[in-house]
Structure 1
Amino acid sequence: MVKDEYTLVLVKPDGVKTRHIGDIISKIENKGYRIEALKMINPTKDKLRQHYFDKVDKPFFPELLNYMMEGPIVGIVVSGTNVVHAIHNMAGATNPGEAAWGTIRGDYGREWPDGVLRNIIHTSDNVENAKREIGIWFPEFKMA
């Protein structure tokens, strides 16, 4: 029997500001996945540096840091069979202007005149990163 996986979803500040938290949760639940943990988070620079550890030295990191601190985010732990891959696909292309309709970024994201890439949602891209990211944002969560 295949064991359920866990993945992390972060509704980014633009997703919170444009009131798409419920839409995103509905898409996840309508696919039959389970919400295991949910909380509103005011991200700190330290947590964001841990989360985006592989991007800290990139030239765009300061812009990413500022974007992710524009307001609160919503953290969600989701479980289900092959959920990491499925939710990552549901998110759509990184650039919301290129994301297909029907994906979260395609339906709720858009490009902005200031050029900052705001893309509504973060999803874990593999099982190892999901475990690491859940540990950062939900240290109290115990995976079965």
Structure 2
Amino acid sequence: MSYDERTFVMVKPDGVQRGLIGEIISRFEHRGLKLVGAKALQLDEELAKTHYSEHEGKPFFEGLIEFITSGPVFAMVWEGKDATRQVRRMVGATDPAEAAPGTIRGDYGLDLGRNVIHASDHEDEGANEQEIKVFFDDAELLDYEQATDEWRYE
């Protein structure tokens, strides 16, 4: 059983270095989302600039590129009903100081520039597909049924 919404999530270098990949995966799995793609990688400057192109020209852009290329990241694609909105709510506000307790950034984020995780924006309909294609080839994404699928949705 496949649900039509997939969303892109990336554990940033600070989250990888702090050993939070497993905790973050567990949170999404416990929510009922299905992991359909995942890989560790080191972003080069070109890939980082492609990923964050909407921020080009902003004062923080160069620092963002420097940070996201400073260490490995863990890229993922999650699938589920209303997956993007669910993930964004679980991730919390961009600024960890504003993120609610219980969200990933509220629990683990320390600083606006070190906020542990990136997630596609729900407001931009094309963001998921565009971000997924930047990081994953079609062959790297799985389409499978889980034994628990029937217990997740009506």
* Equivalent pair of 1:6/1:143 in contact (CA under 8 Å): no
Query: With structure 1 as the length reference, what TM-score do the two structures score?
Result: 0.90
8 Å Cα contact 2:37/2:142 also seen in 1: no
Secondary structure at the counterpart of residue 57 of structure 1 = coil
CA shift, 1:59, in A, is: 1.4
CA drift of 1:4 comes to 2.6
Label 1:143 to 1:39 Cα distance change in 2 as closer, same or farther (>3 A): closer
Stretches of structure 2 that go unaligned for 5 or more consecutive residues are 144-154
CA contact (8 A) 1:5 1:81 kept: yes
**Corresponding residue for 1:62?**
62
CA deviation map 1:115-144 (0-9, x unaligned): x61110000013410100000011244587
Question: Where does the alignment leave 5 or more consecutive residues of structure 1 unmatched?
Answer: none
Task: Please report how far the alpha carbon of residue 96 of structure 1 lies from its aligned counterpart in structure 2 after TM superposition.
Answer: 1.1
Is contact 2:36–2:142 with CA below 8 Å preserved after alignment?
no
Shift of the 133–117 alpha-carbon distance from structure 1 to 2, 3 Å rule, reads same
Q: 2:118 aligns with which of 117, 122, 133?
A: 122
Q: How does 1:41-60 map to 2 (within 5 A)?
A: 41-60=41-60
RMSD: 1.7
Decide which structure has the larger Cα Rg and report it: 2
Give the aligned residue type for 1:35.
L
Percent of residue pairs bearing the same amino acid type: 39
1:136 aligns with 2:124: no
Instruction: Return 43-52 or 71-80, whichever deviates more.
Output: 43-52
**Number of residue pairs aligned between Structure 1 and Structure 2:** 139
- Calculate the TM-score normalised by the size of structure 2: 0.85
C-alpha distance in structure 1 between counterparts of 2:94 and 2:3, whole Å: 28
- Indicate how the Cα distance of structure 1 residues 29 and 3 shifts in structure 2: closer, same or farther if over 3 A, else same: closer
Displacement of 1:36: 0.3
Contact in 1 for aligned 2:6/2:78 (Cα 8 Å): yes
Deviation string 1:80-136 (CA, Å, 9 cap, x unpaired) is 00001110111101011221110000111112xxxx611100000134101000000
1:45-73 C-alpha deviation (Å, 9 max, x unpaired): 11111111111111110000011012000
The equivalent of 1:87 in structure 2 is 87
Amino acid aligned to 1:24: I
